[in-house]
Amino acid sequence: MRITRFTKTYATPEQTAAAARHYSWLAAHAQPLRQPALTVIGPNSLTFERIEGRHAEPGDLLRLAGRLGDAHGTAWASDLHSVSLNGTHTFRDGALFGDYLAVRKVALRRRLEQGHLPDRIALHAMLTLLENTAEGPAAFYKDSNPRNFLFTDDGTLFTLDTDDLTLAPFGYDLAKLIATLIMTCGPIGPPAIDEALSTYNEAAGRHDSRLGTTDRERLDDFLALHCVLTAPYAGRNGYRYGWPIPRPRLQGLA
């Protein structure tokens, strides 16, 4: 495995500090997610070891689902077991952990302005769906998409990109991974999604039985939210495929 350096720049020192803070939190509380070494923190940049490898593909879904479930369970046991999805949480330096509801309410309203929701009735439906999912134990959301996972030639799995980190229900980040794999590589059949969910639940449930209870209906609710939230990126950043999962609640929303 050949390792060099990669420097990522940010628009502001605040964004740089947030990405570094997220990296450190994941390293401390979500150890199953192996990250490239962070070597230099600059005013507007972070420098990492550069990992050579390939990004995630649909055939990796089971392995990734198990790793996410383990990481979410580890973080819950380590730091999130007393956190409410309707409350706030802080990092060690006092900065607030990203909120599950607030940032997504803003994003859904923006989707209406951008034309990805047909009217305010559809917006209300999505906001209600979001509110209804804000229950249960707290996990984290790290924007799991194929580009944010890297497999080396020897099969080692690395997790990339610490820019976005918020609280989220268990299963929400798995749904983002499934949605973006479909948008990147094409349809994934329901049996494969069910198996991934079972693998995720088994891995999370090893930390506490309450953590491995995401059912398919709840996963579908998360997928519906991601369908709308990711709509502006269709046709960009490698998202070449449309949304193939027929859901009655989404009819007329795209």
What pLDDT score was predicted for residue 121?
Answer: 94
Give just the sign of the alpha carbon dihedral 164, 148, 215, 253. Answer: positive
- Tell me the C-alpha distance between 200 and 26, whole Å: 18
Is the pLDDT at 3 greater than 60, yes or no? Answer: no
Is the residue at 5 inside a domain?
no
- Please give the structure tokens belonging to residue 147: 């580009």
Answer whether residue 11 is part of any domain: no
Write down the residue that tokens 């891995």 correspond to: 203
> What does the pLDDT look like over 9-43, one tens digit per residue?
999 999 999 999 999 999 999 999 999 999 999 99
- Each residue of 183-239: pLDDT tens digit? 999 999 999 999 999 999 999 999 999 999 999 999 999 999 999 999 999 888 788
Domain-located, residue 37: no
pLDDT for position 2? 52
Q: Is residue 32 one of the residues assigned to a domain?
A: no
Tell whether 8 is covered by a domain. no
70: tokens are 């383990």
Read off the pLDDT of residues 139-148 as tens digits, 9 standing for 90 and up.
999 999 999 9
Nearest to 138 by CA among 172, 177, 174: 172
Note the pLDDT of residue 88: 85
Position 245 scores a pLDDT of 47
pLDDT value at residue 250: 52
Q: Which residues contact 124 (CB under 8 A, 6 or more apart)?
A: none
Q: Using CA atoms, how far apart are residues 205 and 96, in angstroms rounded to an integer?
A: 27
- Whether 64 is in a domain gets the answer yes
For the chain, the three-class secondary structure string (H helix, E strand, C coil) is: CCEEEEEEECCCHHHHHHHHHHHHHHHHHCCCCCCCCEEEECCCEEEEEEECCEECCHHHHHHHHHHHHHHHHHHHHHHHCCCCCCCCCECCCCCECECHHHHHHHHHHHHHHHCCCCCHHHHHHHHHHHHHHCCCCEEEECCCCHHHEEECCCCCEEECCCCCCEEEECCHHHHHHHHHHHHHHCCCCHHHHHHHHHHHHHHHHCCCHHHCCCCHHHHHHHHHHHHHHCHHHCCCCCCCCCCCCCCHHHCCCC
Q: Is residue 205 part of a domain?
A: yes
pLDDT-based confidence at 254, cuts 50/70/90? very low
Q: Residue 247 pLDDT more than 80?
A: no
Using CA atoms, how far apart are residues 48 and 36, in angstroms rounded to an integer? 6
Query: For the segment 108-161, what is each residue's pLDDT rounded down to a tens digit?
Result: 999 999 999 999 999 999 999 999 999 999 999 999 999 999 999 999 999 999
> Which residues, including other chains, have CB under 8 Å from residue 140's CB and lie 6 or more apart?
30, 72, 75, 80, 165, 166, 167, 168, 173
Domain extent for 73: 54-250
pLDDT digits (tens, 9 = 90+) for 44-99: 999 999 999 999 999 999 999 999 999 999 999 999 999 999 888 999 888 899 99
Q: What is the pLDDT of residue 253?
A: 46
Contact call for residues 248 and 191 (beta carbons, < 8 A): no
In a domain, 47, yes or no: no
Crossing angle (nearest 10°) for helices 120-133 and 216-229: 140
Total domain count, the chain? 1
pLDDT of residue 217: 95
At residue 252 the predicted structure's pLDDT band, cuts being 50, 70 and 90, is very low
**Nearest one of 232, 234, 23, 202 to 111, comparing CA atoms:** 232
If you search the block for the tokens 């999130």, which residue do you land on?
Answer: 80
The pLDDT, as a whole number, for residue 242 is 73
Q: What is the pLDDT of residue 103?
A: 92
Q: What is the pLDDT of residue 149?
A: 97
Q: What is the arrangement of strands in the sheet containing 45-51, beginning at the earlier edge strand?
A: 3-9, 45-51, 38-41
CATH number of 158's domain = 3.90.1200.10
